[in-house]
């Protein structure tokens, strides 16, 4: 450890920081989702609703039957004192007053919805109908102000003798109600669904499974040997087919003659249209058109290219024109004519004088 | 009247494709054209070949000199014609036919060309030397008011060469020159003025 790398401690510190941050966040999330034990102790009923069926088995209406916590016997008494039609009993659902099918999950959902709709509600408890209680009861619970005194939560028949959380504070906000008789509720008929938060979904009741039919009886397994063809008994020694003298029979002729064309016929015979040949004149015209275009382009290109080169005539040289007339060695025999009159040759008065010039002069 | 307007282009048979091709090949062998082509190495081959063609065309423009003008200019150099400048002796209304016997006319001029690429000169100027020799059997010059008004000519034979840097590009053997017998100079050429423009009618 004496030679630690330079990134060792920063990385270790960063990992520790991330671990602490993760643990803090996880703890905060756990605290938000579920009430603490202290909060559970301060929860008490502030509204008790009876789940009243209406019309159909799946339609319910919550009817208020109390605004404070009640024990089971008192609650039973309150329910019995209510008119039967008020609570939805005796409406002829199935013809029997007492026998009524109920859906605990749907009634619990109604209870959860009632809690969610009430801003005072922090938790709820749903007690399904049983032998003594003909209606499902929904307990909406809220927190009791600790400064004024904690209220005792609604005693659950199951939790009455088992709940270790039930504090004995000696006083309660609600008026004391005595239990008239001990409640005997079979544990299998009492189903208390108590969820700490509204978002928690109650477990769905398991449907009764159909009994699996017994497997069919099969005949006993018997083993029978597979019938094999009888082996041929060799009557002569095997022939050597590799020897050149072996008498090998020629292969049978092919069933199909190769020299004949094989005609494949299809079920869907499409009409074969004779392809019209490309007209020769059109091909020639196309070629001539292309060649003409190429020639025109080439000519234009060369013409444009040639305009880049030009030759300027600086001087035609006539300003330094040298001229010379060299006469021959012969003497000049030229004559000078002087015309005195007009050129009317036929005139009688015409006279032409000849004056010699040059060497003859 | 076409023969009267014949120039050195027809004299050297410049419009003949074979003669022109020989002249082009000879011009391509000169040092001047080698230098020009060396400067145009980066240019396309078409431009390099066109430089020769363009120089030949420019030379053709330089040869646009009428033969009769050469003859008139040569005759105008004769000292014997200066006597007609005396108006007292030769009044203005007097028409004089001056006869010149057989004589040779020598003409030399040096046109210069400059090859341009994209309006920029390429290489030095190229100088040509055009030498023309004419042999005139006889000529009668009509002179009036100290001006050569026209001429009547006999047979004319001509030869000539076009050179560039000493190399002969075009050569014409001695042969007859087709010219009209009578040539008119319009208002006439003033005697004694070598560069007076002559207008052929």
Query: Which residues lie below 8 Å from residue A45, measured CB to CB, with a gap of 6+?
Result: A66, A68, A69, A70, A139, A140, A141, A153, A154
Q: In terms of pLDDT, which residue wins out, B53 or A164?
A: B53
What is the average pLDDT score of chain B? 86
In a domain, A17, yes or no: no
For residues B185 and B197, what is the distance between their CA atoms, to the nearest angstrom?
10
In a domain, A330, yes or no: no
For residues A255 and B87, what is the distance between their CA atoms, to the nearest angstrom?
131
pLDDT, residue A161, reads 44
CB contact A303 to B (< 8 Å): no
Predicted confidence band of residue A136 (pLDDT cuts 50, 70, 90): confident
Nearest-neighbour CA in chain B from A278: distance (Å): 40
Contact A320 B110 (CB under 8 A): yes
For residues B27 and B39, what is the distance between their CA atoms, to the nearest angstrom?
16
Q: Cα separations (Å) of A324 from A50, B75, B84, B173? A: 148, 9, 20, 20
Q: Which residue from B minimizes the CA distance to A310?
A: B116
Burial of A352 (C-beta count, 10 Å sphere; 0-12/13-18/19+): exposed
At what angle are helices B31-39 and B45-62 packed, to 10 degrees? 140
What is the pLDDT averaged over residues B114-139? 90
Partners of residue A309 in chain B, C-beta under 8 Å: 43, 47, 50-51, 54, 115-117
In a domain, A246, yes or no: no
Partners of residue A320 in chain B, C-beta under 8 Å: 109-110
Looking at A266-275, A314-323, B167-176, which range is the least confident one?
A266-275
What is the pLDDT averaged over residues A169-195? 43
* CB A43, CB A115: distance < 8 Å: no
pLDDT, residue A160, reads 42
For residues B76 and B96, what is the distance between their CA atoms, to the nearest angstrom?
15
In a domain, A258, yes or no: no
3-state SS assignment for residue B106: strand
For residues A59 and A146, what is the distance between their CA atoms, to the nearest angstrom?
39
Could you identify the residue written with the tokens 């000049």?
A332
Cα dihedral angle (A52, A53, A58, A61), rounded to 10 degrees? -40
pLDDT, residue B200, reads 36
pLDDT, residue A206, reads 72
Cα dihedral angle (A89, A90, A92, A93), rounded to 10 degrees? 30
Predicted confidence band of residue B143 (pLDDT cuts 50, 70, 90): very high
- Of B136, B128, B130, B14, nearest to B68 (Cα)? B136
Contact B77 A325 (CB under 8 A): yes
3-state SS, one letter per residue, for chain A: CCCCCCCHHHHHHHHHHHHHHHHHHHHHHHHHHCCCHHHHHHEEEEEEEEEEEECEEEEEEEEEEECCCCCHHHHHHHHHHCCCCCCCCCCCCCCCCCCCCCCHHHHHHHHHHHHHHCCCCCEEEEECCCCCCCCEEEEEEEECCCCCCCCCCCCCCCCCCCCCCCCCCCCCCCCCCCCCCCCCCCCCCCCCEEECCCCCCCCCCCCCCCCCCCCCCCCCCCCCCCCCCCCCCCCCCCCCCCCCCCCCCCCCCCCCCCCCCCCCCCCCCCCCCCCCCCCHHHHHHHHHHHHHHHHHHHHHHHHHHHCCEEEEEEECCHHHCEEEEEECCCCCCCEEEEECCCCCCCCCCCCEEEEECHHHC
**Substitution target from B110, B139, B154 for chain A, most A beta carbons within 10 A:** B110
CB contact A342 to B (< 8 Å): no
Q: Which residue from B minimizes the CA distance to A341?
A: B94
The domain total for chain A is: 1
In a domain, A126, yes or no: yes
Contact B108 A321 (CB under 8 A): yes
What does the block give as tokens for B198? 């002559």
How many CB pairs below 8 A link A and B?
A: 134
Residue A43, domain extent: 37-195
Q: In terms of pLDDT, which residue wins out, B98 or A78?
A: B98
pLDDT, residue A349, reads 64
Contact B61 A320 (CB under 8 A): no
Give the percent of chain A with pLDDT over 90: 5
Q: In terms of pLDDT, which residue wins out, A30 or A274?
A: A274
ipTM (interface pTM): 0.80
For residues A343 and A350, what is the distance between their CA atoms, to the nearest angstrom?
8
- Give the range with max mean pLDDT: A17-21, A54-58, A334-338, B95-99: B95-99
Which element (helix H / strand E) includes B67?
helix B67-75
Q: In terms of pLDDT, which residue wins out, A303 or A68?
A: A303
CB contact A313 to B (< 8 Å): yes
pLDDT digits (tens, 9 = 90+) for A203-254: 666 776 667 777 778 877 777 777 787 777 877 777 776 766 666 677 777 6
Q: Cα separations (Å) of A197 from A61, A116, A193, B185? A: 22, 9, 12, 131
In a domain, A65, yes or no: yes
Residue B181 gets which letter from DSSP? S
pLDDT, residue B160, reads 94
Nearest-neighbour CA in chain A from B69: distance (Å): 11
> Does the pLDDT value for residue A163 go beyond 50?
no
Contact B106 A324 (CB under 8 A): yes
Nearest-neighbour CA in chain A from B1: distance (Å): 24
pLDDT, residue A95, reads 42
pLDDT, residue A230, reads 79
What is the pLDDT averaged over residues B125-146? 92
Contact A317 B62 (CB under 8 A): yes
Residue B141 gets which letter from DSSP? E
For residues A86 and A280, what is the distance between their CA atoms, to the nearest angstrom?
103
In a domain, A133, yes or no: yes
Contact A313 B61 (CB under 8 A): yes
What is the pLDDT averaged over residues A116-140? 83
**Substitution target from B41, B46, B52, B79 for chain A, most A beta carbons within 10 A:** B46
3-state SS assignment for residue B20: helix
Predicted confidence band of residue B150 (pLDDT cuts 50, 70, 90): very high
What is the pLDDT averaged over residues A99-124? 82
Q: Cα separations (Å) of B65 from A212, B28, B73? A: 130, 25, 12
- φ, ψ at A222 (rounded to 5°): -120, 145
Contact A326 B107 (CB under 8 A): no
Contact A317 B47 (CB under 8 A): no
Contact A328 B99 (CB under 8 A): no
For residues B145 and B89, what is the distance between their CA atoms, to the nearest angstrom?
11
* CB A158, CB A173: distance < 8 Å: no
Nearest-neighbour CA in chain A from B2: distance (Å): 23
Nearest-neighbour CA in chain A from B33: distance (Å): 12
Q: Which residue from A minimizes the CA distance to B108?
A: A322
What does the block give as tokens for A346? 């036929």
For residues A217 and A196, what is the distance between their CA atoms, to the nearest angstrom?
53
Q: In terms of pLDDT, which residue wins out, A182 or A227?
A: A227
pLDDT digits (tens, 9 = 90+) for A290-323: 999 999 999 998 888 888 888 888 888 888 788 8
Predicted confidence band of residue A172 (pLDDT cuts 50, 70, 90): very low
CB contact A338 to B (< 8 Å): yes
Q: In terms of pLDDT, which residue wins out, B9 or A271?
A: B9
pLDDT, residue A35, reads 52
Cα atoms in the 13 Å half-sphere on the side-chain side of B72: 31
- Give the range with max mean pLDDT: A27-31, A190-194, A240-244, A321-325: A321-325
Partners of residue A302 in chain B, C-beta under 8 Å: 46
In a domain, A130, yes or no: yes
What does the block give as tokens for A243? 């020897």
What does the block give as tokens for B187? 């208002």
> Does the pLDDT value for residue A333 go beyond 70?
no
Contact A305 B107 (CB under 8 A): no
pLDDT digits (tens, 9 = 90+) for A89-99: 655 444 444 45
For residues A134 and A81, what is the distance between their CA atoms, to the nearest angstrom?
12
- Give the range with max mean pLDDT: A146-150, A169-173, B179-183: B179-183
Could you identify the residue written with the tokens 């444009």?
A304
Looking at A73-87, A172-186, A207-221, A330-344, which range is the least confident one?
A172-186
Query: Which residues lie below 8 Å from residue B6, measured CB to CB, with a gap of 6+?
Result: B66, B67, B177, B178, B179
**Substitution target from B66, B70, B86, B113 for chain A, most A beta carbons within 10 A:** B113
pLDDT, residue A286, reads 93
* CB A128, CB A100: distance < 8 Å: no
Query: Domain ranges in chain B?
Result: 3-190
Cα dihedral angle (B53, B55, B57, B59), rounded to 10 degrees? -150
Pick from B65, B119, B125: which is nearest to A314 by CB?
A: B125
CB contact A335 to B (< 8 Å): yes
């Amino acid at each position: 450890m004496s030679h630690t790398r330079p990134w060792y401690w920063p990385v270790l510190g960063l990992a520790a920081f991330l671990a602490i941050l993760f643990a803090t966040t996880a703890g905060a999330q756990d605290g938000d989702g579920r009430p603490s034990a202290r909060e559970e102790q301060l929860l008490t009923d502030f509204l008790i609703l009876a789940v009243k069926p209406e019309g159909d088995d799946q339609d319910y209406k919550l009817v208020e039957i109390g605004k404070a916590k009640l024990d089971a016997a008192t609650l039973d008494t309150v329910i019995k004192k209510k008119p039967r039609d008020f609570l939805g009993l005796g409406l002829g659902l199935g013809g029997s007053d007492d026998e009524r099918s109920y859906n605990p999950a749907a009634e619990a959902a109604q209870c959860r919805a009632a809690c969610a709709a009430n801003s005072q509600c922090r938790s709820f408890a749903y007690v399904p109908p049983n032998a003594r209680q003909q209606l499902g009861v929904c307990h909406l619970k809220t927190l009791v102000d600790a400064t004024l005194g904690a209220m005792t939560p609604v005693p659950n028949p199951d939790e009455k003798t088992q709940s270790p959380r039930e504090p004995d504070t000696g006083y309660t906000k609600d008026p004391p109600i005595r239990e008239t008789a001990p409640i005997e509720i079979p544990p299998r008929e009492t189903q208390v669904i108590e969820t700490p938060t509204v978002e928690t979904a109650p477990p769905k009741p398991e449907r009764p499974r159909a009994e699996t039919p017994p497997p069919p009886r099969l005949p006993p397994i018997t083993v029978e040997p597979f019938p094999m063809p009888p082996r041929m008994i060799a009557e002569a020694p095997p022939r050597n087919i590799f020897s050149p003298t072996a008498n090998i029979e020629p292969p049978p002729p092919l069933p199909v003659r190769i020299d004949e064309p094989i005609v494949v016929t299809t079920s869907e015979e499409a009409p074969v249209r004779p392809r019209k040949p490309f007209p020769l004149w059109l091909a020639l015209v196309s070629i001539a058109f292309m060649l003409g275009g190429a020639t025109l382009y080439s000519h234009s290109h060369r013409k444009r290219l040639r305009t880049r080169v030009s030759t300027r005539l600086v001087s035609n040289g006539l300003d330094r024109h040298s001229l010379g007339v060299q006469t021959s060695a012969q003497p000049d025999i030229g004559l000078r004519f002087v015309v005195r009159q007009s050129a009317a040759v036929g005139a009688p008065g015409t006279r032409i004088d000849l004056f010699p010039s040059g060497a003859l002069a | 009247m076409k023969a009267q307007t014949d120039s050195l282009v027809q004299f050297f048979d410049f419009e003949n494709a074979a003669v022109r091709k020989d002249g082009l090949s000879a011009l391509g062998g000169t040092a001047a054209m080698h230098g020009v082509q060396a400067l145009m190495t980066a240019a396309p081959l078409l431009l390099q070949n066109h430089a020769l063609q363009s120089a030949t065309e420019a030379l053709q423009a330089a040869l646009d000199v009428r033969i009769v003008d050469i003859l008139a200019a040569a005759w105008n150099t004769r000292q014997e014609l200066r006597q007609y400048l005396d108006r007292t002796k030769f009044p203005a209304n007097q028409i004089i036919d001056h006869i010149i016997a057989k004589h040779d006319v020598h003409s030399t001029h040096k046109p210069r060309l400059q090859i341009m690429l994209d309006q920029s000169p390429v290489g030095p100027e190229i100088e040509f030397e055009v030498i023309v020799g004419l042999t005139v059997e006889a000529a009668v010059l009509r002179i009036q008011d100290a001006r050569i008004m026209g001429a009547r000519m006999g047979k004319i034979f001509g030869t000539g060469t076009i050179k560039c840097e000493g190399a002969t590009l075009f050569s014409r053997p001695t042969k007859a020159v087709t010219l009209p017998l009578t040539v008119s100079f319009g208002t006439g050429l003033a005697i004694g003025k070598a560069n007076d423009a002559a207008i052929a009618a």
